[in-house]
Structures are given as C-alpha cells and as structure tokens.
Amino acid sequence: MGIFRGKVILVTGGTGSFGKCFIQAVLRQHMPKRLIVYSRDEFKQFKMQEQFAAHKEVMRYFIGDVRDRERLRMALRGVDYVVHAAALKQVPLMEYNPGEAIKTNIIGAMNLIETSIECGVKKVIALSSDKACNPVNLYGATKLCSDKLFVDGNFYSRKGGVRFSVVRYGNVLGSRGGVVEFFLARKKTAILPITDPRMTRFWITLDEAVKFVIDKFKIMEGGEIFVPKIPSMSITDLARAIAPGCRLKTIGIRPGEKLHEVMISEDDSRNTTEFGRYYVIRPAFYHPDKKYKRGRSVPDGFRYSSDSNGEWLSVSELKSLVGGG
C-alpha cells in the first residue's frame, strides 16, 4: 500500500484542483489513517465533505490559512506527511495585490516550515511552478522565494527530522482558471483571443502531477527540486484542438507573461541530474545523498524550456485530452 499506509497526511489548499485529485488517489490506492484538508474556503470544504462522504472516518477538515501560524500548529499535530498546495497564483491579480501574494506564498511557506519542524512532521513536498524559474512576474518571484525557503528549510531541521523538497511542473490540464477553461468559455463566440501565436507551454495532467508527487515522497532525501519530463504544446495548437472553427485573434502578451516557460535554467544546470522521466535540481549548498550520482549530469548550459523541448503534443493529442472539436 506504499508510503501512506497508516499515516496521517495534511494537504494545504486541499480544496483546489490538485488537492482533490491527490486525495482521491490516496484514498483509492493507499490506506491512510487520516487525510486532513486545510484551506480557507468553508463552502468548498462543505462540498468536499459531500463528495468524500463515504470516507468520513478518514477525512478531516480544518478551516485555516497558511498565514496563521497558530492554526497551522494545531492542524499539524500528529501529521506524518504534508503536501503544500496552498498559493495565490493568478498573475494579474498578484501584480495588483503584491502584499497579499507575499503574505500567502512566502510568509505562509515560512510558517509551514517552522511549524512542521515544531510538530515533528516527517516529510513535506511543496508544489512549485515553471514561473518560479527566472521569474518575470510577482507570482513567479514569490514561488522562487518559496522554493528557496523549502530547500533551505532542511538546514533548520535536526538530523533525522523533517525533510523538505519541492516539485516543479508546468500548466495543469483541468486546473481551475486555466487556459482550457478560458478557451471553452469563449468557444461559442467564434473568436478565441490568444496572446501570441508563437507562445508555448509545458503541459501535464492532474493525474500525472499527483502520481509524480506521490512517487517523489518515496525517494526524496530533502532539498531537491524535482522536475518531471513532460511535453510542450503550442497555444495555437491548443486553440485549434478546442475550437477548430474559431478565428484566432492576437491580443499581445500581457504584463508579466513569458513567450516560453523554463523549468530548469542554465544556472540550475550545474546542479541538475537527469533520470529516466525526471530531473533533480540538487541543493546548491549541500548534497543530500550520494544516490544522485546514479543519475546523469546534464551538459553545462543545459536549459529545459517549453520551446526547445523534445516532446510535443499534436493537435489531435490535445483534442483527445481536452475534448475539443
């Protein structure tokens, strides 16, 4: 039954797209002692209680904010593993409300790290974003800072104490507020606005993201940033897959937006090891374990970018994923 058998798991931001999918997978494939949803939205928690009513003996629901250190400390008592999925992530809104992004994405990360150490949690994986690599907007900058906090949080944990690692991936198919949802809503207008026809993005399904996180709980040593090898897609191909009969209207790249996303920069490459279907960015200031010598060091100057990726989704593949046409 794997690493979660008989364990207590807490998911911050547990009412979000990833949180619900993660909880479904753990309930289906493992036998946890308890699963705790920690989030701010009481209505979403109420709907989750209905959705997971058959598992009410296992499920627990905490109304709380990662900004609230005392509430986190109470929720983390007796917890073995934490998935940190709570974040403010809408790029334009974060540019307009920078202080709020800092309070949730950075201060909230600090609160979780410190209370996890205090409460004796065993392992924590924080979810990151491709926007954290060479950030050009505030959201990306806060996630980069969060990544650094979780990696370096291992310095503060005693030997044999809690281990912190990060998982970084690209756009998630089916996530709330994503581009697929945006295109589907505008399909009936016969015009799809796109920012730039050259734009590319990394692509991963929710199920793939959840499986990747669960797998990395099994092998993490602490301090790694795990990056999956995932396909890229062209924004114009996605538009053709969802609404082939619509006219595409170029509106220009928005402030804080990149033409292509990067998950591993040239500077990161010096500390990056390649494995079969993923990369590991090792911590720059210490090496958690010699086991990563089993992988292959990437070439100097390596860059994992959505435009130069060797794996691409075709229009037909995108259509089968998003149900377009």
Which amino acid belongs to residue 10?
Answer: L
Active site residue 131: yes
Q: Is residue 44 part of a domain?
A: yes
Q: Is residue 137 part of a domain?
A: yes
On the question of pLDDT at 198 being above 80, the answer is yes
User: In what helix (H) or strand (E) does residue 44 lie, and over which residues does it extend?
Assistant: helix 42-51
Tell me the HSE value of 259 on the side-chain side, using a 13 A CA sphere. Answer: 6
Which listed residue (131, 143, 216, 258) is catalytic?
Answer: 131
Q: Is residue 86 part of a domain?
A: yes
| Least confident residue range of 13-17, 78-82, 106-110, 175-179 | 175-179
CATH of the domain at 35: 3.40.50.720
Residue 325 neighbours by CB distance under 10 Å: 12
Structure confidence at residue 287 as a pLDDT band (50, 70, 90): low
Q: Is residue 182 part of a domain?
A: no
The tally of domains found in the chain comes to 1
Higher pLDDT, 101 or 291: 101
As given in the structure block, the two tokens for residue 118 are 């205090």
Q: Is residue 135 part of a domain?
A: yes
**pLDDT for res 33:** 97
**Alpha-carbon gap, residue 117 to 13, rounded angstroms:** 20
**pLDDT for res 244:** 86
SS (H, E, C) 257-284: CCCCCEEECCCHHHHEEECCCEEEECCC
Residue 177 neighbours by CB distance under 10 Å: 10
Residue 185 neighbours by CB distance under 10 Å: 9
Structure confidence at residue 176 as a pLDDT band (50, 70, 90): low
Q: Which tens digit of pLDDT belongs to each residue from 84-137?
A: 999 999 888 999 999 999 999 999 999 999 999 999 999 999 999 999 999 999
**pLDDT for res 288:** 54
pTM: 0.93
Determine the 3-state secondary structure of 29 from DSSP. Answer: helix
On the question of pLDDT at 325 being above 70, the answer is no
**Alpha-carbon gap, residue 192 to 246, rounded angstroms:** 6
Q: Number of helices and strands (H, E) in the chain?
A: 11, 17
Name the residue range of residue 280's domain: 8-170+205-229+264-303
**pLDDT for res 292:** 63
Q: Is residue 313 part of a domain?
A: no
Structure confidence at residue 167 as a pLDDT band (50, 70, 90): very high
**Alpha-carbon gap, residue 134 to 266, rounded angstroms:** 10
Q: Is 166 exposed, middle or buried (0-12, 13-18, 19+ CB in 10 A)?
A: buried
Average pLDDT over all residues of the chain = 91
**pLDDT for res 286:** 64
Q: Nearest 5°: phi and psi at 85?
A: -110, -5
On the question of pLDDT at 46 being above 70, the answer is yes
Q: Is residue 191 part of a domain?
A: no
Q: Is residue 38 part of a domain?
A: yes
